[in-house]
Amino acid sequence: MLQHLGRRKFESIVLLRLSDLPAAREYYRIGAWTDETFHAALERHAAQRPEAHALRDARLRLTWRELHDWVQDCAQRLHQAGLRRGDRVALWLPSRVEAVVVFLACARNGYVCCPSLHQNYTVDEIGLLLERSRARALFFQPGYGADAQTVDIVERARSSPQLKALYCVGAHDDRVDRFERPAPGQAAGCEIAACADPDKIVYLAFTSGTTGTPKGVMHSDNTLLANGRAMVRDWHHDHRTVLLSLSPLSHHIGTVAIEQQLAAGLELVVNDPSSGMSAIDWITHTGATYVMGVPTHAIDILSEMRRRGLSALGSVRLFYMAGAPITTGSRWKSGPTEASAPRTRWPSLPGSFRTR
């Protein structure tokens, strides 16, 4: 849909501000907000369980120590590129571990991560979002995007005067720096101290633009982690949970998965199955106990389970579905962001379920 709407919908982006100080004081008072940042949680897990698994895709499975070291290395590279607190870092990437690494590096240094550059966007639409968000750095995978096979994202990005750094993920491009995992023992520490402010802006997501121009939705460590901590507490997740997000990391569900990963110290598996592997096979192969997605994921999985004659979905005990029914009268007035709400089911008593 996006590529047919042209440039107009990206001409203006409205940014929301986190400035309600009385509300913030109340959130601290009731314990919803704390002093712990994403990076502080990462350091805690890396210190307590350094060899436990933290993050996985089809190519890599990282321990908490390996994830921590890569995040420090990425933070140092961005700092050396001239980025400073408050600068925006854009991600145009599929679901792969690098996207989580960059997100956490941004949170460490106080940069604002902009991950909602989706696969169905064109190169020109990405360029417009880079300009409107004033992104200083872009991480991209060659060929990823609606027309990225035929239109050059490097040339388009370099036309943005504010951009300082371009990083290529998953392939070589001699024109830009390659972003890859440091060799064992070669990860660079970051020369600047981690930003310890849990109320800094770390995340800028864009609404779809269905109902108007895309709006920028800003979040801090606290506004994200409060949700993750509540879900972990209510659903009794811990370091033994294996969370698999079927939704792309460019969607907010992916960020909700990262929240819970850092809150619980669990292993996060992104939706990056090997070629030819179905969703059910990937879920089973990774040992996922908790799956996040949208109703279409559940519909497809249930259909395949019936076709295979399966009575269980591997080790899965909980399936989270985001999205709410849209009534006939409102469906043409509300876009995906405005109309959706988390819909979750979890066991209550044997043979029964509760919905929230």
In degrees and rounded to multiples of 5, residue 279 shows phi and psi of -60, -40
Residue 212 phi, psi dihedral angles, 5° rounding: 160, -160
pLDDT at 43 over 50: yes
Maximal C-alpha separation, the chain: 60
The predicted pLDDT at position 303 comes to 96
- pLDDT band at residue 54 using 50, 70 and 90 as cut-offs: very high
Structural domains present in the chain: 2-11+36-355 (3.40.50.12780)
Model confidence band, residue 20 (pLDDT cutoffs 50, 70, 90): confident
Whether 229 has a pLDDT exceeding 80, the answer reads yes
Q: What pLDDT score does 214 carry?
A: 75
Average pLDDT, rounded, for the chain: 87
Nearby residues of 258 by Cβ (< 8 Å), 6 or more positions away:
100, 103, 104, 228, 249, 268
Q: How far apart are CA 107 and CA 21, in angstroms?
A: 21
Share of the chain above pLDDT 90, in %: 77
As a whole number, mean pLDDT of residues 13-40 equals: 82
Residue with tokens 């921590």: 68
Strand partners, 215: 14
Q: What is the pLDDT of residue 343?
A: 39
**Inter-residue contact 224 to 255 (CB < 8 Å):** yes
* 3-state SS assignment for residue 57: coil
pLDDT digits (tens, 9 = 90+) for 287-343: 999 999 999 999 999 999 999 999 999 999 999 988 755 444 433 333 444 444 343
Extract the tokens encoding 155. 């040339």
| Angle, vertex CA 206, rays to CA 200 and CA 210, nearest 5 | 155
Tell me, what's the pLDDT at 204? 95
Q: Given pLDDT bands bounded at 50, 70 and 90, which one contains residue 351? A: very low
Q: Give pLDDT, residue 160.
A: 94
Interatomic CA distance for residues 252 and 115, integer angstroms: 9
- Those residues whose C-beta lies under 8 Å from the C-beta of residue 184, and which sit 6 or more positions away, are none
State the Cα–Cα distance between residues 215 and 203, nearest whole angstrom.
13
- Does residue 183 register a pLDDT over 80? yes
**With DSSP H G I counted as helix, E B as strand and the rest as coil, what are the percentages for the chain, rounded to 5?**
35, 20, 45
Q: Is 136 helix (H, G, I), strand (E, B) or coil?
A: strand
Specify the range with the lowest mean pLDDT, choosing from 148-157, 162-171, 182-191: 182-191
pLDDT greater than 90 at residue 60: yes
CA angle in degrees (0–180, nearest 5) for 279-284-290:
85
pLDDT for 2 equals 30
Please measure the distance between the N-terminal and C-terminal CA atoms of the chain and give it in whole angstroms. 31
Burial of 7 (0-12, 13-18, 19+ CB in 10 A): exposed
In which band, very low, low, confident or very high, does the pLDDT at 140 lie, cut at 50, 70 and 90?
Answer: very high
Distances (CA, A) of 23 to 29, 211, 217, 218: 10, 28, 18, 16
Identify the H or E element spanning 319.
strand 318-322
Q: What per-residue confidence (pLDDT) applies to 324?
A: 56
CA atoms within 13 A on the CB side of 58: 14
